[in-house]
Amino acid sequence: MQAQTTMQAAEALQILRETQVVREGHFRLTSGLHTDLFLLCSLVQQFPHHTARLAQAMAEPFQSSGVQVVAGTAMGGIILAYEVARALGVRGVFAEKGPEGRMVLRRGFRLAPGERVLVVEDAVSTGGSIKKVIDVLRTQDAEVVGVAALVDRSGGQVDLGVPLRALITLTVPMWEPAACPMCRSGVPVVDPKDFTEAPPKSQPRPRDPA
Ligand SMILES: [Zn+2]
């Protein structure tokens, strides 16, 4: 794993390690590719103070972009999008899988034509699911100004067609199953969503005095 070493990325990585987000093993990603490192980003979102701090940093590059709505992607982007929306002082919605497996805006969420939308995701790998969200937002004539991610696992290589700003950029190896060295060695592959968890070590920080 190689990580960019800006102060912000180092701080963010420290938070992800502390909250046991960073996992090593043999994992099958949503895209079908295999990898030896997975980020269980939900774990950091147990902690509102960590999430708020990360979301503020994610919002920072888009402060002057005229963002009117933040759109998260279910499930991983819902809480982050809410906190990024708070940081930008705008409303937050989320897209989710519809009845036919396509990404949709449901629950009464609507965008006005021309509304400037920032898409928020926890981790971007191949960008496949993000592109589906961008497509659905554009069907409502929204203007997608960019994507804010906690982690870009592509080492900055993924092209979403809009600016992507990730707090942490990692170069994580990914393989087609046929080319995966761990498959070849007979290591069982795990769906990262199937983790059973020990109780978290990181405890919520007491509220600061007003
Ligand atoms: Zn494999």
pLDDT at 99: 84
Q: How far is ligand 1, taken at its centre, from the CA of residue 179, in Å?
A: 8
In the chain the first and final C-alpha atoms are separated, in Å, by 41
How far is C-alpha 171 from the chain's CA centre?
Answer: 15
Distance 206 CA to ligand 1 centre (A): 42
Going from the Cα of 186 to the center of ligand 1, the distance in angstroms, rounded, reads: 8
* Residue-level pLDDT at 5: 45
User: Mean pLDDT across the stretch 113-141?
Assistant: 93
pTM for the full predicted model: 0.83
pLDDT, tens digit, 9 for 90 and up, residues 26-45 = 999 888 999 998 888 999 99
Where is mean pLDDT largest: 5-14, 150-159, 185-194, 200-209? Answer: 150-159
Tell me which of 3-7, 55-59, 109-113, 175-179 is least confident.
3-7
Q: Which residue has the tokens 């991610």?
A: 149
**What CATH number does domain 2-182 carry, 3.40.30.10, 3.40.47.10, 3.40.50.2020, 3.40.50.10540?**
3.40.50.2020
- Tell me, in angstroms, the distance from the centre of ligand 1 to residue 35's CA: 7
What is the CB-side half-sphere exposure of residue 142 using CA atoms within 13 A? Answer: 28
| Cα 168 to Cα 161: distance, rounded to the nearest angstrom | 19
Q: How far is the CA of 41 from the centre of ligand 1 (A)?
A: 21
Residue 4 has pLDDT above 80, yes or no: no
Binning pLDDT at 50, 70 and 90, where does residue 168 land? Answer: very high
Q: Are 80 and 131 a contacting pair, CB within 8 Å? A: no
How far apart are the C-alpha atoms of 143 and 140, rounded to whole Å? Answer: 9
Q: Is 42 left (phi over 0), alpha (psi -120 to 50) or beta?
A: alpha
Sorted by where each begins, the domain ranges of the chain are 2-182
Taking the CA atoms of residue 178, residue 160, residue 91 and residue 123 in that order, the dihedral angle to the nearest 10 degrees is 30
Q: Of 2-16, 25-39, 112-126, which gets the smallest average pLDDT?
A: 2-16
Least confident interval from 40-54, 83-97, 108-122, 180-194: 180-194
Contact status, residue 145 vs residue 115, Cβ threshold 8 Å: no
Query: In Å, how far are 46, 73, 104, 177 from 96, measured between CA atoms?
Result: 21, 6, 6, 27
Distance from residue 1's CA to the centre of ligand 1 (Å): 17
